[in-house]
Structure 1
Amino acid sequence: MTVLLTAVGAVPALAITSSGGEGRPGEVVAVELATERPQQGPWLVRAPAGTIFAATPSVQGGGPGSSCVVVDATEARCVRQGRWPAGSRLRARLAIADTAPAGSVSATSTVGEETAGYTVTVLPPPPPRLSAPATTRDRTPTLRGTREALPSSGGPGHSVTVTDADGRRLCQVPAGNEAAWSCTPRELPLGETVLVARQTSPGGSTSAASEPSVVRVVGEVRLDHPVDGSSTFARDVTVSGTADPGSEVRVALSGRRATAPVSDRGRFTVDFDDVSPGRHRVTAEQRLPGVPPSRASTDVLVRELAPPTVSDPPAGSRTQEQRPLLRGRGEPAARVAVDLAGRRHTAQVDRSGRWSLRPVDELPLGTHELLVHQTVDGVDSTASRSSFTVVPPPPQQPAPGAAPSSPAEQPGDPVPGPTPERGPAPGPSEPDAAEPQGDPDQEQPPTPAPGPAPGPPEPDATEPDATEPDAAVPQPEPGREQPTGTGEGSGDVERPGEDDGPTRRHPPEATQTPGGGAWSSTRLMPVSLTAGSVDVVPGTAAQMSGRIGPNPSDEIVTVTVDGHVTGGVRYREVTVLAGGGRCTVAEDRFQCQVELGPAEETTFAITFLADAAAHSDQGVHRLHVRGDGRGAGDGPGTVNAVTSVLDLTADAPTDTEVLAREVSEFPGSVVVVLALFLFALAATLAERGR
C-alpha cells in the first residue's frame, strides 16, 4: 500500500511517500520512504511505538557518499554529501515487539525542512488449531491443538482459551512458546457440544476463533434400581437406570433378556414379572460405534414372604379370657391381618419384628381358629393357622375346713387366712334345761343306757376332716406375716440388695403410675404367692406357687424374677407355667424372665428341698420382681418384693425315715451297698443284745 503524505512546511512543493508494513507481534516488517523532490540535509527516521529497528536502514538512489546509522533502537540517521536527489528511497526493517497490541502505530520521517508520517499495522495472532474426539464416554476428554510460537526466544508466548458455542470457558492453556498445547475441560454435558479455541498475545490481542470441533459425549450405563445387594418381596422386579439419550440398552436378569429404549433425558426402564425367589444378577449393556461398550450390573435378592407366626395364645391352648392378647412375630414394618370369629383385625409389626392386638369383641366359649397373614410392599403372604379354646372359669369354692376370712382380708386375696389351731374333737352337746324337749305325745328315742358318754363318730377315711386344713394348700400360722407383694396398691415395697438379714420395708413410691398407659420406672409389676408360709419336712420336697401380673401398662414388658432362699433350704425346680418364660436355677438362687403383654399375667411354681440334716427351724424365701419396657424412654421399674417363711419343724421324720427316703433316691448300685451296711449294723445290735 502506498500513501502520499503532504510535506510539512510553508511551501507544499515537496512530498515524502511511504509503503508497508504490517505484521504480527514478533515479526519483522519492511517499510520504504521516498523523496519526491531534491532535499538538503540529514534524513531522520523514527520507529513507531512497539517497534524497533531490526537493522541499519539503507538508501537507494541517493548517489555515492550516502550512509546511515542507527542512533538508538528507535531512531536512524542517514547523511549524504550534497543534496538528496528526487526519488531517493530509504528502506528500513522494523521488528514488532511481542507485547505490541494489535492496531496501527505511526512515526515521522524528516528530510531537511520536510517532515512526513508513516504507519505500521500490528496484526492479531492467528487462530490456533483445535482437535477433540468426535465421540467419547469421557465427560472430560483431553483437548489438543497447536498455536503460533513467537520467534523471539524467552518471550511469554501466546495463551489459548477453549470455550463452547455459548462462550462458556471450558479450559485455558497458559502462555508459552511451545507450539503444541493440551488441556482438560470441565465436565461436558451428555450429547453434542461445539468447541472453539482462541489464542491471546502477550499484548492482549486475541485471535479469531478456530475451526469448531463437535464432541459427542456418550453416557455410561448406570443402574439405580434395584440397589446392589438389596432385597425385595415383590415378584415383579423393575430395572431402571441412565444411558446415552436416544440409544438402546440390553438388560438381562438371570438369563431373561429385554431391550429398552433410552429417552431423550437419558433414562430407561424394564419390567420383569413373576421372578422366582432367590438371588439374581441384573446386567445392562450399551454398544455404540466409535466407543467401547458400557456395562453395569447389580445383585438383588427376591425373598419369599413367609406367613407371620402366632406365639400367644399357644396353638391348642385353653384360656379363660374372652378377649385374649394375640401376639407373634412378623416382618418389620409389615401389616398383619388376623381373621378371628368372623372379623378381621389388623396390627403393625414394630421394628423388632413383634406384633400384638386384642379382639374388639368378647369371644364366645369354644374353639376358635386364627388365620394370620402379613403384607409388605403390596405383597401378601400365605396365612398361618392356629387355634385355641375359650373355657369358662372354674367355680369359686371355699377349701374344706377353711376358717372365715378376717375383716382385714379382701375378697379375691390370693393369700389365705391363718389355719385354726387343732383341738380335741368336741363331745356330744348336753341339752339345755330351759330348752323344750319336744312334743310328749310323739315317740321319743330310747334313752341310752347309763355309762360313759360315747365319743364322736369316727370320721370316714374318704371324707376330709372339717377341722384339718386343706393338705393341698399350705396354710400360714396364726399371726405370721402374709405376703404383701401384690404389685399395684401394695402397702410395702422391698428394695433390692437386701437378701441377707431381716426384711426391710419402705413406703411405696409417691409417683406410682396408675394402670394403663406407657411403662415407666415408677411402675410396679404385681406379684402374689398362694401362702405366706409353707411347711417343709426336712428331706422332702415342698411346692409353692404364685402369680405375676397382670401387666398394668399398655406395652409389652420383660419381667425378671429373682429368688433367694436361706436356712438350709435349696431350690429343686422353678417353672413358669404360662407365658413361655425361661428360668436358671442354682442351689439357693434362681432367675426367670418372661414377657407379658398388656393386662397379661403368668403363674409360676417353686419346688423347695430342705436338707435332712438342717439345723435351722425356719428358712426365709424372698422374691424380687421388676419389669423393663421396650420404649426409648422406658427403663426398669421399681422392684416389687415378697417374703415367705419356710417352717422346717413340722412333722419332722425319724432318722430311719430320712435314711430310707434318701436310699430310695439313690441309684441301684448304692442301694446294694447300703443294704449290706444295714444288715451288718443289725447283726451288731443283735449280738450286743445277748
Structure 2
Amino acid sequence: MWDAASDSGKAPGGGVTVDKQGQWSIPRTSLTSDAKGMKVRQVLDGGESDASALQQYTLTAPVVDSPTEGSEATDRKPEFKGKGAKGGTVTIADDQGATLATGAIGTDGTWSVKAKKDLPLGDHTITVTHTADGLTSKETKRSFTVKTDSETPVITKATKNWSGSGSYSASGTGTPGATIEVKWNDPWVSPGGGTTVDGEGNWSYRNASYTTDGEGVKVRQVTNGEASDASKYMQYTLAAPTVLTPGNGSEVTDRKPQITGRGAKGESVEIKDQDGKLLATALVGDNGLWATVPDEELPLGTITITVAHSAGGLISETTQRTFTVTE
C-alpha cells in the first residue's frame, strides 16, 4: 500500500488480507502519513500486481444529534448539534445550498451552532459537512419541520345570520390574549376591528360588514407576532328561526293552533313534533314572517315542537317551543 506522496509500498498493520468475498479494509488509525490519498497493490503467490489508481481520502460524514429526523422545532433559529472531526469546522446549508451556520468542532469532537437567520415555517432539509486536515467530508442530511409555538384555536360554533344584515358570527376557544384572525375566502382578516381571546380562553366575533359566498370559516390565532396553524374548517349553520306563537309554556284550545314566526325571506320552514314527525311547513314572506297550522289535529296534552328553516343551501339551528293543548 502507498500513500499519495510515496512510491514505496508498505503493508499496514502487519498486512491486510483479502477475504473470501474479495473484500478488504484498513482502519485509518493504521495510517500515519499526512498524505491526502493512497493507492494499493496486492501480492499473491509471491507476485505483485500493478498499483491501483490514486484514491484521495474523503472524511466520513459528521453525526447530527439535533434536530432528529422528522422532528418539529418551534424556534425559527434552531440550534444544530452533533459530532465531527476534532478541531475541524462544521457547516450547515439549507435546502437551497445557502449557509445557515458554521462553527468549530471542539476537542471532544462535539459541535453546536445556531442558525444565523430565521427559517420560514414549514419543512426543511439541511445538509451538514465538516472539514479537517484539508479534507471535506461526505454529507449528512436531516429533515425537520419548523412550526409556530402558537397553539391552534378551536371553532365551536359558526353561524350565518338570516335577518338580512348579512352578518356572520363564530365562537370558540384559544390562548388567552391571542388575536383571532378569520379566513372566509382570502385573505386572513381580523374581524370587527380585532378579536382577542379572553382570560378564560374564549373568543367570539360578529361581522356584519364582510360579505362572502363561502359556506364556512376557519380561524388562526396570533401570539407574539407568530400565527398558528389554521383550525379545522367549520361549515356555517343558519341561525335558528324565531317562533312568535304559541308562547313557551302557554296553553292553546285549538287542536290546530296557528304557529307563527320569523325566518329567512323566501325560504321554507318545517315544524316537527317531539318524535320528529312533520307537522307543518311554511314559506317565509318578503317581510320575513311566516305562519302555518298543523296538517292534523294535535293530541291533548303537552306538545314540544321543533322549528327549522333553510337558506342558501344551509340548514338552520332549531328553535323549540313547549305548550299544552287543552279542551
**Structure whose CA Rg is larger:** 1
TM-score (norm 1): 0.22
Higher relative contact order (CA 8 A, sep 6+): 2
